[in-house]
């Protein structure tokens, strides 16, 4: 649905993003992560046709963003970083105006439906300029999805919302993501885990990681850590585990728990379980523990950029190819 | 076309909410009323029949100063509030956006002009053979064409700023320059080369024809061209915004 090739953008002499390459399939929900100033907003502005790229090519739904800009804009719903509202209009008028520009049918019904969903139904007659921050955010979201866009691009959609509304909006995004394509940027990492199928991590204008959330977690570690818990004293099985093929190291946690490490992708859990049970012990727990997305994020966006590229980007490329 | 209309009507409605529009209309109509009254008094004292010019003359000058106030927010405000990003990512052509804005200001101006229609009616009652209807119509036609150009200039200049006040003074400056650019040509006249300046002069195209009750094709063409050229500049200005 979205195809980005060698996309770069310069602001004057400053390079904001360089050589971005990624593809987003129809029906995917992709999270766009990166520290402040990484180039997320810039990329989204290019995708929506607000800014032209310096070099590179972007196609959305098969349309080129420069040559067929109007076609692209019809497909896309966009919530910009600064919520674009006309303060002198009422919520209803604003949404009606946007719906008219999008040329959709049954505008009143659609507005009713969407404001109901976003908890704006009782604010329809209020002026947009008098709304609270969270309410403004909701109106911005309503505007972005009013025409049921094929492609939804949201720049920090849940910022400023109350917890109940955050959940509502996440559900809404997931729902839209069932059929449509969503690209959202956020700084809330659990949000990515909850709603996104895939993440793109960008740092200093470059993509430093691109994968599904789970795979990202296991890949990054290079090795996998597994927790083993038995009813008896763990020391009794330590030599047994250590000698299992694929196990790199073991570490005792407490009386009946230990943590061991295996090479990435080489899951020794089945063999470990067999050995433990064969030796007559009660196996209580055997699970792999993964790094949190926060840890991954910090790892990938460390200050030293060369470290990112050498250590992280390389394994990803190979891993990605294997997966295909 | 549909988009132009949608944008224009939103713009038009905005005027009935915005305090600036009310202030501009109030001052405009107040000054018009005072000058009308003063002119009527003067004519009765000096024993001559006042013509349509006592209405149109002041109105032209008032428009020169109020046009920048009417157009200053149009594109400047869209940039300040971030709605420009919304409009430029909606399925609307840049030209439709600019023309829609202009049309919206024109609709407001037409309301303002329509209100001033009371003065000719009053004047017609007051003087004996009535006023020269033909002269009145040509004057209003010329005025509308000229104000259309003012609005196009104002909307375009507003696209260059995100600050309304800056847009106001820049527009006023450009209008005043275009209004008086013919003067130096009188000095240049002897040397030649003043012709172009005279041609560019806005007032020249109004006072020498419409104001005297003459409709000259070249003046109609001039105003329509001026409007089109500025709307084109405005579109280019919006387009180049993307490249900055
Ligand atoms: N209009 C602009 N003119 C010049 N430089 C800009 C402009 N917009 C963004 N930049 C620069 O481009 C870089 C990327 O900015 P961008 O807004 O895309 O970051 P971001 O990832 O969205 O950050 P945040 O998480 O803070 O929203 C930054 O270094 C920023 O200073
Ligand atoms: Mg941003």
Tens-place pLDDT, residues A177-189: 888 999 999 888 7
Would A269 be classed as within a structural domain? yes
CA of A198 to the centre of ligand 1 (A): 23
Please work out whether the CB of residue A18 comes within 6 Å of at least one atom of ligand 1.
no
The verdict on A168 and A255 lying in the same domain is no
Q: What b/e string do you get for A135-152 counting C-beta neighbours within 10 Å, with b at 16 or more?
A: bbbbbbbbbbbbbebbbb
Would A301 be classed as within a structural domain? no
Q: Whose CA is nearest to atom 12 of ligand 1?
A: A16
Find the range with the poorest average confidence among A7-11, B75-79, B182-186.
B182-186
Chosen domain end from A191, A212, A233: A212
Would A89 be classed as within a structural domain? yes
The verdict on A123 and A101 lying in the same domain is yes
Contact A48 B83 (CB under 8 A): no
The verdict on A162 and A227 lying in the same domain is no
Partner residues linked to A4 by β-bridges: A22, A58
Record the tokens describing residue B195, joined without a space. 């012709």
In this complex, the residue of B6, B18, B89 whose CB is nearest that of residue A50 is: B89
- Which has more pLDDT, A289 or A73? A73
Contact B82 A84 (CB under 8 A): yes
pLDDT at A206 over 70: yes
> Containing domain of residue A258, as a range?
222-290
Find the range with the poorest average confidence among A30-44, A285-299, B49-63, B207-221.
A285-299
Predicted complex ipTM: 0.88
The verdict on A97 and A195 lying in the same domain is yes
The verdict on A193 and A57 lying in the same domain is yes
CA of A42 to the centre of ligand 1 (A): 6
How many whole angstroms separate alpha carbon B195 and alpha carbon A69? 44
CA of A9 to the centre of ligand 1 (A): 11
Instruction: Tally the domains of chain A.
Output: 2
Contacts with B209 (C-beta within 8 Å, 6 or more apart), sequence order: B142, B215, B216, B219
Would A148 be classed as within a structural domain? yes
CA of A315 to the centre of ligand 1 (A): 28
In this complex, the residue of A51, A86, A89 whose CB is nearest that of residue B242 is: A51
Find the range with the poorest average confidence among A39-43, A91-95, A151-155, A245-249.
A245-249
pLDDT, tens only, B9-46: 999 999 998 888 899 999 999 999 999 889 888 888 88
How much is the pLDDT for A12? 85
The verdict on A133 and A236 lying in the same domain is no
How many whole angstroms separate alpha carbon A148 and alpha carbon A263? 45
Measured between alpha carbons, how far is residue B100 from residues A245, A276, B97, B142, B149 in Å? 73, 77, 5, 22, 15
How many whole angstroms separate alpha carbon A265 and alpha carbon A243? 18
- Which has more pLDDT, A42 or A12? A42
How much is the pLDDT for A310? 40
pLDDT, tens only, A96-145: 999 999 999 899 999 999 999 888 999 999 999 999 988 999 999 999 99
Say which CATH number the domain at A172 has: 3.40.50.300
Mean pLDDT of chain A: 84
In sequence order, what DSSP letters do the residues of A82-101 get, joined into one string?
S----TTSBHHHHHHHHHHH
How much is the pLDDT for A292? 64
Chain B contact set for A125 (CB, 8 A) = none
How many whole angstroms separate alpha carbon B119 and alpha carbon B37? 10
How much is the pLDDT for B201? 83
Would A320 be classed as within a structural domain? no
The verdict on A48 and A194 lying in the same domain is yes
**Contact predicate A151/A61, CB 8 Å:** yes
In this complex, the residue of A78, A84, A101 whose CB is nearest that of residue B3 is: A101
Q: How far is CA A268 from the centre of its chain?
A: 30
Say which CATH number the domain at A232 has: 3.30.70.3190
Contact B91 A52 (CB under 8 A): no
pLDDT, tens only, B180-220: 887 776 666 655 566 777 778 888 888 888 888 888 898 89
Please work out whether the CB of residue A45 comes within 6 Å of at least one atom of ligand 1.
no
Assign A154 to helix, strand or coil: strand
pLDDT at A215 over 80: no
CA distance B171 to chain A (A): 24
Task: Provide the residue count of chain B.
Answer: 244
pLDDT at A155 over 90: yes
How many whole angstroms separate alpha carbon B226 and alpha carbon A293? 59
Averaged over B117-134, what is the pLDDT?
Answer: 83
Percent of chain B scored above 90 by pLDDT?
A: 56
Would A297 be classed as within a structural domain? no
pLDDT at B95 over 90: yes
The verdict on A46 and A173 lying in the same domain is yes
> Could you tell me the pTM of the whole model?
0.82
The verdict on A206 and A231 lying in the same domain is no
The verdict on A228 and A120 lying in the same domain is no
CA distance B13 to chain A (A): 9
Would A312 be classed as within a structural domain? no
Please work out whether the CB of residue A305 comes within 6 Å of at least one atom of ligand 1.
no
The verdict on A66 and A192 lying in the same domain is yes
Contact B90 A73 (CB under 8 A): yes
Contact B93 A70 (CB under 8 A): yes
The verdict on A125 and A254 lying in the same domain is no
Record the tokens describing residue A249, joined without a space. 């190291």
Q: Whose CA is nearest to atom 19 of ligand 1?
A: A37
pLDDT, tens only, A28-77: 999 998 888 899 999 999 999 999 999 999 999 999 999 999 999 999 99
Would A263 be classed as within a structural domain? yes
């Amino acid at each position: 649905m979205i195809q980005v090739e060698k996309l770069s953008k310069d602001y004057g002499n400053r390079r904001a993003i360089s050589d971005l390459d990624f593809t987003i399939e129809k029906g995917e929900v992709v999270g766009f992560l990166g520290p402040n100033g990484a180039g997320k907003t810039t990329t989204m502005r290019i995708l929506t046709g607000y800014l032209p790229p310096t070099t590179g090519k972007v196609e959305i739904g098969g349309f080129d963003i420069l040559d067929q800009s109007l076609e692209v804009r019809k497909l896309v719903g966009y919530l910009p970083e600064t919520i674009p509202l006309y303060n002198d209009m009422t919520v209803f008028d604003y949404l009606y105006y946007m719906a008219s520009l999008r040329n959709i049918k049954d505008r009143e019904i659609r507005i009713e439906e969407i404001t109901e969903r976003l908890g704006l139904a009782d604010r329809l007659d209020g002026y947009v300029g008098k709304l609270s921050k969270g309410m403004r955010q909701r109106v911005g979201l309503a505007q972005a999805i009013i025409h049921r866009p094929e492609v939804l691009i949201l720049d920090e959609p849940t910022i400023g919302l109350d917890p109940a509304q955050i959940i509502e909006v996440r559900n809404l995004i997931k729902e839209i993501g069932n059929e449509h394509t969503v690209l959202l940027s956020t700084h809330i990492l659990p949000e990515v885990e909850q709603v996104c199928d895939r993440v793109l991590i960008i740092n200093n204008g470059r993509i430093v990681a691109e994968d599904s959330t789970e795979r990202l977690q296991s890949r990054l570690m290079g090795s996998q850590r597994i927790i083993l818990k038995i009813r008896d004293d763990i020391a009794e099985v330590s030599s047994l585990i250590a000698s299992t093929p694929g196990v790199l190291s073991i570490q005792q946690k407490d009386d009946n728990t230990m943590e061991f490490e295996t090479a990435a992708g080489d899951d020794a859990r089945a063999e470990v379980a067999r050995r433990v049970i064969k030796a007559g012990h009660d196996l209580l727990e055997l699970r792999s523990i993964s790094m949190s997305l926060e840890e991954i994020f910090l790892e990938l966006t460390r200050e030293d950029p060369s470290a990112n590229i050498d250590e992280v980007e390389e394994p990803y490329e190979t891993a990605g190819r294997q997966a295909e | 076309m549909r988009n132009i209309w949608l944008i224009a009507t939103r713009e038009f409605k905005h005027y009935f909410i915005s305090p600036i529009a009310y202030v501009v209309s109030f001052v405009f109509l107040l000054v018009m009323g005072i000058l009308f009254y003063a002119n009527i008094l003067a004519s009765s004292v000096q024993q001559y029949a006042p013509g349509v010019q006592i209405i149109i003359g002041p109105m032209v000058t008032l428009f020169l100063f109020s046009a920048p106030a009417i157009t200053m927010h149009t594109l400047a405000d869209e940039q300040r509030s971030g709605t420009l990003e919304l409009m430029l990512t909606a399925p609307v052509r840049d030209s439709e956006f600019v023309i829609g804005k202009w049309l919206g200001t024109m609709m407001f101006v037409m309301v303002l002009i329509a209100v001033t229609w009371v003065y000719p009616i009053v004047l017609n009652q007051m003087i004996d053979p009535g006023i020269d209807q033909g002269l009145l119509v040509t004057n209003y036609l010329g005025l509308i064409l000229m104000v259309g150009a003012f609005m196009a200039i104002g909307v375009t200049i507003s696209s260059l700023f995100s600050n309304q006040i800056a847009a106001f003074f820049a527009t006023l400056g450009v209008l005043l320059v275009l209004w008086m650019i013919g003067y130096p040509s009188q000095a240049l006249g002897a040397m030649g080369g003043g012709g172009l300046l005279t041609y560019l002069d806005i007032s020249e195209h109004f006072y020498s024809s419409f104001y005297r009750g003459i409709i000259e094709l070249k003046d109609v063409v001039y105003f329509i061209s001026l409007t089109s050229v500025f709307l084109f500049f405005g579109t280019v200005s919006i387009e180049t915004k993307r490249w900055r």
